[in-house]
Amino acid sequence: MRKKIVAANWKMNMTQAEAASFVETLLREIGDVSDVEVVIVPPFTAIAKVSEALGSSETIKIGAQNMYWERGGAFTGEISAAMLRDLFVRYVVLGHSERRQLLGETDQIVNRKVRVALDASLRPIVCVGETLEQRDRGEVERVLCQQLRGSLAEIGAKEMDDIVIAYEPVWAIGTGRTASAEQAQEAHSFIRHTLGEISDDATATKIRIQYGGSVKPDNARTLMSQPDIDGALVGGASLDPHSFAEIVRGARPRSSGPRRAVAAEP
């Protein structure tokens, strides 16, 4: 049974004070949820503050929005995997479509970063997804296959256990236009099938695949109750702690009480 993973991708938002206040509210709302893995992905400048505000909370983990593939040296403006580890970061989002589109990130670059992240014991959240033009041209499967094979090249089956995939159709990001549960499930099922070809079926069955793109409290549960949707990568709706908490609750098994903790393995 795959444990759902819900992540708050704050993008280029949140000062340190805003981040601390968010965490305080979120802990009050979902502090004892243990049947969903919750990750906050702040901008680099707020990571230390989020870490401090989380204190000893084991429920919520920290992610970063990007990193560089070199270990250190003359790379002005970049951040290394070791620097993220130093701030107690556990996950790193790689290949987000905003970076692919605005900053020229290619599958090859994403692949180098995935390699270095795994070597540093960071868990990559690898983003894939098609544009509207590609969907209209019937290229969804070709694009997903190419992004997955490129980004995960040379990654061993055993290491794949530590990877999370985020399916984020570009046309659904920040647009208010969500993929329907059926469209998302179809893409997720194809992604799992492709992961099986890249590694093996047993490994693919264990890998968590998040959906991202205009996830809101009112569509989260329907999306996450699809068989191959194992959580959400949330942008806009993750900036408000109440709506993010509501989305986290939408990931909980139906039988869970509002605050009851159910032990589960990631």
Could you list the active site residues?
Answer: 96, 168
Contact flags string 167-196 toward ligand PGA, x per CB under 6 A: -x----xx----------------------
Strand partners, 62: 40
Complex with ligand PGA: residue 213 or 241, whichever CB lies closer:
213
Question: By the 8 A CB rule, do 63 and 84 touch?
Answer: no
SS3 230: coil
Residue that the structure tokens 């997955």 belong to: 148
Token representation of residue 139: 């290229």
Nearest residue to 215 via CA among 191, 251, 189, 188: 251
Q: Does 233 bind ligand PGA (CB under 6 A)?
A: yes
Strand partners, 36: 4
Q: From the list 185, 203, 214, 243, which residue makes contact with ligand PGA (rule: CB under 6 A)? A: 214
Q: From the list 235, 247, 249, 251, which residue makes contact with ligand PGA (rule: CB under 6 A)? A: 235
Q: Least distance (Å) from ligand PGA to the CB of residue 196?
A: 25
> E strand or H helix at 62, and its extent?
strand 60-64
**Beta strand spans in 85-172 (E):** 91-94, 123-128, 164-167
Complex with ligand PGA: residue 64 or 203, whichever CB lies closer:
64
Q: From the list 195, 207, 234, 251, which residue makes contact with ligand PGA (rule: CB under 6 A)? A: 234
Closest residue by beta carbon to ligand PGA: 235
Q: Least distance (Å) from ligand PGA to the CB of residue 250?
A: 14
Q: Does 215 bind ligand PGA (CB under 6 A)?
A: yes
Residue that the structure tokens 């920290």 belong to: 62
Alpha carbon distance 204, 201 (integer Å): 5
Q: Does 248 bind ligand PGA (CB under 6 A)?
A: no
Q: Least distance (Å) from ligand PGA to the CB of residue 87?
A: 21
> E strand or H helix at 26, and its extent?
helix 16-30
- Contacting range for ligand PGA; rule: CB under 6 A; set: 57-65, 130-138, 139-147, 228-236: 228-236
Q: How many residues bind ligand PGA (CB under 6 A)?
A: 13
Q: Does 95 bind ligand PGA (CB under 6 A)?
A: no
Alpha carbon distance 37, 261 (integer Å): 12
User: Footprint of ligand PGA on this chain (CB under 6 A)?
Assistant: 9, 168, 173-174, 212-215, 233-237
